[in-house]
Amino acid sequence: MKKYLLITVLIVFATVLFADLQVDLPFGHNQTGQAWDGTDYNYQGEAFHVTNLGATDTFTVQIVSTNIPENWNLVWCHAMGDNQGCHSSHMPAWSFEFPQNATIDFDIQVLGIDQAAGFDYYFEINAPSLTEPEIINFHFQTADATPNADDVNINQSISLKNYPNPFNPETTISYTISKDLNLIPSLSIYNLLGQKIKTFSNLKVNNGKGNVVWNGVDSNNKKVSSGIYFYKMNVKNSPIKKMILMK
């Protein structure tokens, strides 16, 4: 009897101790702005909602973009009761207390749109009580954006992972595609500023799977510094993954 009571107490304790986030995306993972008619404009995105079903804790939120056009600026905003504000994507992670059963809304603005184009970005939400960060991937593009060699639109399920992570001096990036593609995509690595530093082209796929090894050098074969890097397949809606190089 005492054994079962102890198990029950541990289950209840774990429920209280760990955070559990529920993400509601009314618009899905894709956002489309108006076609570019030669006049610069700003895009205001819809809000999505995140509810903390677990423990009250101090959370951090940051947004990371890849392949964003040079003159565009990405701003994200939050609203939770009277706690409202906006942040540049270049700012450090924002910290806030997230009470149990509370809901926070997030949205984005894309400023200075001066061409027909698109880019990928994601929100990363983290807290000590989360077993792993919550990563929410998005893609934004103008209505008249056309895919190119670095943004092939395919309706395939793609998964990515790397091991070891953190790593030194190299890591293996594995990718899985739902089925073989006639056009084999490439995979790129980005730094914290969203700058592309390395691309693996003509990836091999065997039964929908493959891998590449990154040894911590850029496209000029120069060693990069320690820190956080991101990688994604150069296809629309690819997940964006984070890895840490430690020296």
- CATH number of the domain at 88, please: 2.60.40.2040
CA distances from 167 to 194, 243, 244 (A): 20, 8, 6
Q: Is the model more confident about 6 or about 156?
A: 156
Give the CATH number for residue 182.
2.60.40.4070
Residue 176 is predicted with a pLDDT of: 84
pLDDT band at residue 13 using 50, 70 and 90 as cut-offs: very low
Which domain covers residue 92, as residue numbers?
21-142
Q: What is the pLDDT of residues 148-200, one digit of tens each?
A: 545 555 445 788 999 999 999 999 999 888 764 555 678 999 988 888 899 99
Write out the E strands in 158-219.
158-163, 171-177, 187-190, 196-200, 209-214
Measured from the Cβ of residue 230, the count of other Cβ atoms closer than 10 Å reads: 19
Local confidence band at 55 (pLDDT 50, 70, 90 cut-offs): confident
Last residue of a domain, one of 75, 110, 142: 142
- pLDDT, average across residues 105-115: 96
Instruction: Indicate if 136 and 198 belong to the same structural domain.
Output: no
What's the token pair of residue 89? 């994507």
Nearest-angstrom CA–CA distance, 19 and 16 = 8
- Determine the longest span between alpha carbons in the chain, in angstroms: 74
134 and 180 in a common domain: no
Last residue of a domain, one of 94, 116, 142: 142
CB 203 within 8 A of CB 187: yes
- Shared domain for 25 and 131, answered yes or no, is yes
Examine residue 10 and state whether it is found in any structural domain, yes or no: no
Are 123 and 179 part of one and the same domain? Answer: no
| Residue at which a domain ends, from 142, 174, 197 | 142
Task: Calculate mean pLDDT across residues 101-122.
Answer: 94
| Region 66-73 average pLDDT | 90
Q: Within its chain, how far is the Cα of 52 from the centroid?
A: 19
Domain count, the chain: 2
Domain for residue 173, yes or no?
Answer: yes
* Helix or strand (DSSP H, E) at 9: helix 2-17
Give residue-wise pLDDT tens across range 215-247. 999 999 999 999 989 999 887 668 888 899 998
CB 23 within 8 A of CB 136: yes
